Structure 1
Amino acid sequence: MNRVASRLRIGEKIGIGFGVVLIVFLGIVWHDQSVLRSSLADYRYLTEVVGARQTHAFAIESRLARMRGAADRFLMNPDPRLPDAVRAEADAMTAAIDGLARVDSVDRRTVDRLGSLTQEFLNRFSAIETAWRRKGLDENAGLQGAFRASAHELEERVARELPALQTQVLQLRRREKDYLLRGGEGYVQMVEGILAVLTLSIDASPLGSEERAHLSALVRDYGRNFSALVEQDRLIGELTEAMNQAAERVTPLVEDTLAEANALMERSSAELAKTSVERARLALSIAIAATLFGVIFAMLLTYRIVRPVRLMVELLDRLTHENPSERVAVPADPRDEIMAMAISVNTLADHKSTFDRWWRDAMREAIALRDAQVAGSEVERDEAAKELREALAGKVETLRVLQGQLSRECARMLEASARLEGRHAGHDQDIQALRRAAETLRELLEVLDVA
């Protein structure tokens, strides 16, 4: 049954459903015209009002999830393209809210509050974007760039003029990097303490007064830039908390709106079913049987369409908070648009899982390399090397998974070219080119086998 349903498009399913219902209800066409007009009015209300409200509510929830997801990705990786994605999702969410406002059964106050909370979230995010741009979207921009330049200048000047203080400078850079990687006020205090000791050591050095003054000025520049960077991180943290609070205010309202829309759909459907049953009681026993058959068929058809959508909504909702391993079950090569959408959702979940694993392994690799460089003993170097090997093994495993996916796609391309070969006489050369490209890609994957 699932296999047959997946081979039908949504329009074909609806067409079959209407065809069956039409055939069934041909036996009761003698019903009064007023009853027919009442039934049509009920269905029109269900689709144009109740259905529209449910559709707009679902669109609002979906856009909110995407908007928050893009904002979270920007906080993890400040890509300059992500703010535009956040604003685009906010615009789409606003459009969905405007569409909901046009439904006459919606409380206007709810719509106004949704719009104001969405704008508040966007304003909070814009403030975070501004703060990040001041800090620097990469290590060479903004406050990060100024801090990095002062750190390198201090390090080079100490190495050239006071080699005896290189150990203190290395300790200073290590605590600085600990703060940049992990955060925490403890590392800030450590940096400030080392800066104080380094200043005293420069004052007590045998250098000339002019050299000591220049080195002390470099230390002050370093401390000032580091303090500015710390303050900017604190500001970003405060703004992020404010944005999260705005999101926490809008999310329950969106969920309540969707729940109300679903409940209204259920109530309206139940009322319509009840009215249909009451009308059917006035008809002959064959009319009753026909009505029951039509209801059962409609429920089955609705279940086949709605269930995958519900599973996709649950998976997308989990994707905003976690990295689930479950996927929506879909048959191979479906023609159903919803099943095709489920494949895209599964692909999105796979991409997020792959990115998460790669990012974690890359961070482990970076920390291990850092620890290996600053290791003071053989034991520490061994531990860093072990951590580095484990991180590289994780990245290799991720590459194996990606290689398997590419191999499967190559096989699908070859199968598709084999099916098309001979069917389209005017495109034989294109089909052959597709097949050769797939074979070449498969051969390259074998050459680049990470195993």
Structure 2
Amino acid sequence: MEKVWSKFRIGEKIGLGFAVVGLLFIGVVWHYHQTLQSVLADHRQLQTVFEVRKSLALEIEIEMAAARDAEKDFLILRHEHFADDVDQHLQVLRTKVTALAAVDQQSRQTAEQLQRLLTTYQESFRAVTEAWRSIGLDENSGIQGAFRQKVHRLQELSAQYYVDPLYTVLLQIRRSEKDLALRRDPAYRERVRTLIQEFRQLVHASELRAAVKQKLLSELAVYARTFEPYAENALKTGNVGGGMGAFRDAAHRIEAILRAHHVPNLETNVYKLRRQEKDFLLRGDEAYVTKLVDIARTLRSQIAASPLSETDKALLAGLLLDYQQGFLQLVAQHASIVTLTREVDAAARQIAPLITANVNQANQMMAARVEAITESSQASVRLGMLSMYGALALALVFVITLTRRIVRKVRQMAGLLDDLAYGAPTARVPTLPGGRDEINAMAESLNALLEHRANFLDCWKTSINGLPT
């Protein structure tokens, strides 16, 4: 080592010392730069992987909640735009899930599961929407609209066979007519006249067919015209002829017309049908279906037993049958919707935990990664400080070693020079042959000087000793 060290000049040694110290500090700076780059890379990964995953997980959760809200709005209000909203939210969801799959391998696995579940959910919801479209999204569309048209027509026709008020007034007319014959009180004639006018108004206000109205009004005119002479004779002479006459025949013909267009409780039972229908649509209870079928059976029996014409009976029975079949078809479709809705809920319930787990996993991984980055940064800082202290220590050791090697020989030579000034030194400064060190050259020169001085002194002493005394 000493031979190698002697090959360098003092300036080279000093330069080498500065170079070594510089390299040590360059190493410290490089380590600091690497630590900084590592921390930046960790934070970049945190932003590009974990933060993105967490953000996408939250966005997926929000979009799924919005899709479920739109689904519930559709099932409650059955507006077409809510179904479109569900499809739009699911489209956005698929975009978010695709972005999640590009984050990392674990996210890709979660995204694949989500895509499958979203497909199941969307297909189930579309089946529900199609079933509701088949039933009818409002009262005028689908199965519901079709059977409502039938029952509305049935209601219109039932009004044509609602003659109870007319029949009641006719009975009051006949009663007042008989009271006149029994009591011969002019008040009963006035009452008959008033009731005739009331009967005429009821005919005009009724839903009877125009031909039937015309028959009733014609017979009522005959009754009114023929009743007046009968009433006048009854009041003046008391001769009522047993209450018979043309007016009586007209009243019988009016009664026959009313009976021919009367089905007991037809309109009332139609309204009862509608009530059971509305109760089922409102509550979905199968008991209302049974009640509606029973009422329809009663109605058919009443129509069959009525004095209506066969054509009218067939029309009413056909409308009633079409209404009942349409309603039962709606009931069957409603049961299908219940099953499909359960499938939608089941699919959504499978999606929700996966989304929640994805959010929780993203939060946990992000927290763990932040903690790991913190620990790694602290360890890098500690290592950087140790590296800096080590570099300082090595530089100090190197400088001290270099200085000591230079200063030690200089001191030796200074001591020899002192000895040379005041005595005859015998010690020599250690040197290395061929060394390029200036101190080594000085030592060699000093050693040569000491040798020459010693030789000179020896020669001088010999010369002195050889002289004659």
2:151 equivalent in structure 1: 151
Give CA-to-partner distance per residue, 1:179-225, whole Å, 9 cap, x none: 12222001111101111111111111111222212211111011011
Contact map agreement 2:101 2:110 (CA 8 A) in 1: no
Query: Radius of gyration: which is bigger?
Result: 2
Are 1:192 and 2:293 an aligned pair?
Answer: yes
What is the alpha-carbon distance in structure 2 between the residues aligned to residue 163 and residue 205 of structure 1? 6
Contact map agreement 1:67 1:89 (CA 8 A) in 2: yes
Give CA-to-partner distance per residue, 1:328-384, whole Å, 9 cap, x none: xxxxxxxxxxxxxxxxxxxxxxxxxxxxxxxxxxxxxxxxxxxxxxxxxxxxxxxxx
SS for the counterpart of 2:138 is: coil
1:182 equivalent in structure 2: 283
Give CA-to-partner distance per residue, 1:230-274, whole Å, 9 cap, x none: 112112111111111111111111111111111100100111122
Equivalent of residue 350 in structure 2, options 237, 245, 249 = 249
What is the alpha-carbon distance in structure 2 between the residues aligned to residue 74 and residue 173 of structure 1? 25
What is the alpha-carbon distance in structure 2 between the residues aligned to residue 173 and residue 107 of structure 1? 55
Structure 2 unaligned regions, length at least 5: 1-27, 162-261, 386-469
Contact map agreement 2:100 2:108 (CA 8 A) in 1: no
Are 1:276 and 2:377 an aligned pair?
Answer: yes
Are 1:136 and 2:237 an aligned pair?
Answer: no
1:226 equivalent in structure 2: 327
What is the alpha-carbon distance in structure 1 between the residues aligned to residue 377 and residue 32 of structure 2? 13
Give matches, 1:253-268, under 5 Å: 253-268=354-369
- Identical-residue share of aligned pairs (%): 37
Contact map agreement 2:136 2:145 (CA 8 A) in 1: yes
Q: Which has the higher contact order (CA 8 A, sep 6+)?
A: 2
Give CA-to-partner distance per residue, 1:69-123, whole Å, 9 cap, x none: 1111111111111122111111111111111111124253322111011011111
- Per-residue deviation, 1:29: 9.3
2:50 equivalent in structure 1: 50
Output the amino acid matched with 2:380: R
Output the amino acid matched with 1:150: K
Contact map agreement 2:134 2:142 (CA 8 A) in 1: yes
Output the amino acid matched with 2:108: R
What is the alpha-carbon distance in structure 2 between the residues aligned to residue 33 and residue 283 of structure 1? 10
What is the alpha-carbon distance in structure 2 between the residues aligned to residue 157 and residue 29 of structure 1? 101
SS for the counterpart of 2:80 is: coil
TM-score (normalised: structure 1): 0.55
Are 1:202 and 2:303 an aligned pair?
Answer: yes
What is the alpha-carbon distance in structure 1 between the residues aligned to residue 323 and residue 126 of structure 2? 29
Contact map agreement 1:46 1:268 (CA 8 A) in 2: yes
Contact map agreement 2:64 2:90 (CA 8 A) in 1: yes
TM-score (normalised: structure 2): 0.53
Output the amino acid matched with 1:270: E
Output the amino acid matched with 2:359: L
- Per-residue deviation, 1:30: 9.9
SS for the counterpart of 1:263 is: helix
- Per-residue deviation, 1:279: 3.3
What is the alpha-carbon distance in structure 2 between the residues aligned to residue 50 and residue 166 of structure 1? 70
2:404 equivalent in structure 1: none
Contact map agreement 1:49 1:105 (CA 8 A) in 2: no
Output the amino acid matched with 1:73: D
Output the amino acid matched with 1:237: V
1:112 equivalent in structure 2: 112
What is the alpha-carbon distance in structure 1 between the residues aligned to residue 153 and residue 295 of structure 2? 17
- Per-residue deviation, 1:31: 7.1
Moved over 6 A (4+): 28-31
Contact map agreement 2:53 2:103 (CA 8 A) in 1: yes
What is the alpha-carbon distance in structure 2 between the residues aligned to residue 88 and residue 29 of structure 1? 55
Contact map agreement 1:100 1:106 (CA 8 A) in 2: no
What is the alpha-carbon distance in structure 2 between the residues aligned to residue 219 and residue 230 of structure 1? 16
What is the alpha-carbon distance in structure 1 between the residues aligned to residue 267 and residue 138 of structure 2? 27
Output the amino acid matched with 1:243: V
Structure 1 unaligned regions, length at least 5: 1-27, 285-451
What is the alpha-carbon distance in structure 2 between the residues aligned to residue 176 and residue 79 of structure 1? 21
SS for the counterpart of 1:32 is: helix
